[in-house]
Structure 1
Amino acid sequence: MKFRSPTDEPLHVALTTGHTCTISPEGDEIPQMFHREAISRGAIPSSITAPETAPVGGFDRKQVVTDAINAMLDGGNEDDFTNNGKPDLRKLQARVGFKVEREEADAVWAEVSKAPDAAPDAA
């Protein structure tokens, strides 16, 4: 039976017996002994026609950080920001629920802080 990888990358399938195979995105005929493991790893049987990229509402890390910084700005709490005006990482991380690196926060802050200035220029 022919299977194809669910992504643009080859799918590697290994059995506890030591047998291995690779399934390409274009599709490959694989022996029966790999079928169950290939399906459990997400390989798509040739008999199933699935969309190439199924839109799934995933986690957009940058958008979550952007929303949190905007909420901090709207909140008006001066303690949410450092003395130099940047978002306080501890407060930002508490809002988003995961670790945010200073470089990541600074990149989003640069976009958010210049956004109001960009609107008049566009007119």
Structure 2
Amino acid sequence: MFPESGEAPTKPGDVVDAYYSALASGQYARAHAMWSPASPTGAEGIDEFERAMLSYQSVEGHAAGPARLEGAAGTIYAEVPVTVSVVRRGIPDTRSGTATLRKCDDVPGCTATERRWHLSAIELGASGT
């Protein structure tokens, strides 16, 4: 799911960078696996995710700053600023926004998978922001 080393990124910004790297190289299953299963994107099937991505000729994105962390009820949330540039149906577009990630805060009952960062939302501003 994550880099070829098999190790999951330990920093939220690294997960964002790995996600956009997977999208840029057409590794849609790898990118989809980085989403929390509880998120709308994670809950949709890989076929639907891939179909949505096929309208993009290119996708580039990256973490654009440090993560802001918050904890609540055994879960840690991270908000990471992102910048995304795409070409969709031949039209280039660049947007900035925030990727929200979450992970279990190593409390009893959390699985190893739940203790890794997963995307839960990506909110992008209007075109050109």
TM-score bin (small chain): under 0.3
Larger Rg: 1
From the two aligned structures, give the one with the greater strand fraction: 2
Q: TM-score, normalised by structure 1?
A: 0.26
Q: TM-score, normalised by structure 2?
A: 0.25
